[in-house]
């Protein structure tokens, strides 16, 4: 590890965490269940396995009072939280355990009672420049430089949290430089044309989501016919001319769909091929996310540990998930989003995949001038909410982390996350009040920024 590149305070935290882990025989890892959380947990499982430690991994959708009980009741004297914990610092300080937190969400809190590493503590944006898997990898490679191969798993988390969309920065730049230099990752020029067999990849495409093509077999065939490309071809089989034709046709369709140039550039971003895993980082993110959100997070961790059977099963689950997502987004596109003055929203109770649909809708379906809110009322008593914005909305003063926190707390709930993507929960019967309050908060943020 190059100690001249990383912040000295981070190195102090990593040293403290490493010493704590070396001194304990049994470690209990708690992590979020999305791609970043599963990636982080997988990295730590590999690290602990190589150290010969006894360990357990528990994945969870959210850290709240109910799930916090699992941490309190853990039989391990040492608990290690990844992609979780920043909002529970004061509660964690009260535990009679050794605690390590590796998170990247900004709660504005710090502690001297236990080891807490977070990019925000070093003046680095945890929304763009270091995620949960970044922090887990840095601990693993601090523990043993031979763990650099785990950077490939970390890239699944970086891709899942969209921290590579505009290139690598901050702590992620350290990972990127080392990964490419050591041959674990190769950068591949991006395109609007999705990777893989075209008849399948275009049908399942959600980034970009192409209206009339995504989720439409006839639409896929017409697009390929218009480009003069056989539907038996894969992305890697395309000539330069064929790639240009197909990409141009997709660009025209997205323009007709009122998709911004910025979003199209993001969709055509550079991809990162993981040489040891024989897949690109975004595909790894997809399968890890499918495992975690499908309540099969253990399978995601197992494939990180090198279990090929788990990998094959995870790939099957990912195909099933992507088919369900494309059906859900086509249905959402057909009914559209409901509009308030400053936000747009939809009910995902019958669709599921709230956060995923929210991100797709923000980029490819709704108005680019309003944050998108997805509400799932299927839970008992509480509605779960996801929100997504864009970089241009952030430039106008919008901070979804604060907005979702304040709006949910105003109706007896809780929320938080990142400025561009945040979540919340609140009593389901308070939905209209929540939406009104959120709409007013977003308006106030824009007005305050304009002054």
- Consecutive 10-residue averages of pLDDT for the chain (451 residues): 82 97 97 96 98 97 87 95 93 95 92 96 95 98 97 97 92 97 93 93 96 98 97 92 96 96 93 94 95 93 97 95 96 96 96 93 95 88 93 95 96 90 93 97 95 79
The pLDDT of residue 379? 63
The pLDDT of residue 1? 66
Q: Which residues contact 352 (CB under 8 A, 6 or more apart)?
A: 324, 328, 376, 378
Concatenate the DSSP letters of all residues of 154-192 into one string: HHHHHHHTTTTTT---THHHHHHHHHHHTTSEEEE---S
The pLDDT of residue 193? 95
The pLDDT of residue 186? 95
Distance CA 408, CA 415 (A): 6
First to last CA, the chain: 45
Q: Which residues contact 256 (CB under 8 A, 6 or more apart)?
A: none
Distance CA 207, CA 225 (A): 21
The pLDDT of residue 154? 98
Phi then psi for residue 113, to 5 deg, are -85, -25
E-strand stretches of 177-220: 185-188
The pLDDT of residue 450? 87
**The pTM is what?**
0.88
Residue located via tokens 């040293």 = 15
Decide: 148 and 50 in contact? Cβ < 8 Å.
Answer: no
What number of other Cβ atoms are within 10 A of residue 449's Cβ?
13
The pLDDT of residue 65? 82
The pLDDT of residue 84? 93
Q: Which two tokens stand for residue 202?
A: 């275009």
């Amino acid at each position: 590890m190059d100690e001249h590149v990383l912040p000295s305070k981070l190195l102090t935290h990593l040293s403290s965490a490493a010493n704590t882990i070396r001194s304990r025989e049994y470690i209990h890892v708690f992590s979020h269940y999305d791609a970043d959380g599963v990636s982080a947990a997988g990295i730590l499982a590999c690290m602990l396995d190589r150290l010969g430690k006894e360990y357990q991994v528990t994945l969870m959708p959210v850290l709240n009072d109910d799930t916090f009980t699992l941490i309190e009741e853990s039989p391990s004297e040492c608990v290690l939280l990844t992609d979780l914990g920043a909002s529970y610092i004061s509660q964690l300080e009260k535990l009679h355990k050794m605690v390590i937190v590796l998170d990247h969400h900004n709660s504005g809190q710090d502690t001297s009672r236990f080891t807490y590493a977070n990019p925000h503590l070093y003046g680095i944006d945890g929304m763009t420049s270091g995620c949960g898997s970044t922090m887990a990898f840095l601990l693993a490679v601090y523990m043993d430089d031979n763990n650099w191969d785990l950077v490939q798993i970390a890239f699944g988390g970086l891709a899942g949290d969209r921290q590579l969309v505009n290139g690598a920065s901050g702590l992620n730049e350290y990972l990127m430089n080392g990964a490419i230099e050591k041959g674990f990752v190769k950068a591949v020029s991006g395109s609007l044309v999705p990777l893989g067999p075209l008849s399948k990849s275009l049908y399942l495409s959600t980034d970009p989501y192409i209206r009339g093509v995504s989720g439409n077999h006839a639409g896929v065939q017409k697009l390929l016919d218009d480009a003069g490309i056989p539907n038996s071809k894969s992305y890697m089989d395309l000539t330069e001319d064929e790639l240009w034709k197909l990409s141009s046709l997709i660009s025209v369709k997205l323009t007709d769909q009122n998709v911004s140039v910025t979003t199209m550039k993001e969709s055509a971003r550079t991809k990162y091929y993981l040489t040891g895993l024989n897949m690109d980082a975004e595909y790894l993110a997809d399968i890890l996310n499918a495992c975690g959100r499908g309540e099969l997070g253990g399978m995601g961790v197992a494939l990180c540990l090198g279990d090929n059977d788990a990998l094959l099963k995870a790939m099957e689950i990912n195909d099933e998930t992507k088919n369900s997502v494309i059906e859900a987004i086509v249905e959402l596109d057909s009914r559209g989003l409901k509009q308030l003055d400053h936000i747009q929203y939809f009910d995902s109770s019958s669709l599921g995949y709230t956060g995923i649909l929210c991100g797709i809708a923000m980029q490819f379906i709704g108005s680019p001038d309003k944050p998108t809110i997805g509400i799932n009322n299927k839970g008992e008593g509480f509605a779960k909410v996801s929100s997504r914005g864009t970089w241009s909305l952030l430039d106008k003063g919008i901070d979804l982390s604060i907005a979702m926190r304040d709006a949910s707390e105003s109706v007896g709930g809780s929320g938080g996350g990142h400025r561009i993507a945040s979540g919340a929960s609140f009593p389901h019967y308070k939905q209209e009040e929540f939406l009104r309050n959120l709409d007013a908060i977003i308006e106030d943020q824009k007005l305050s920024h304009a002054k």
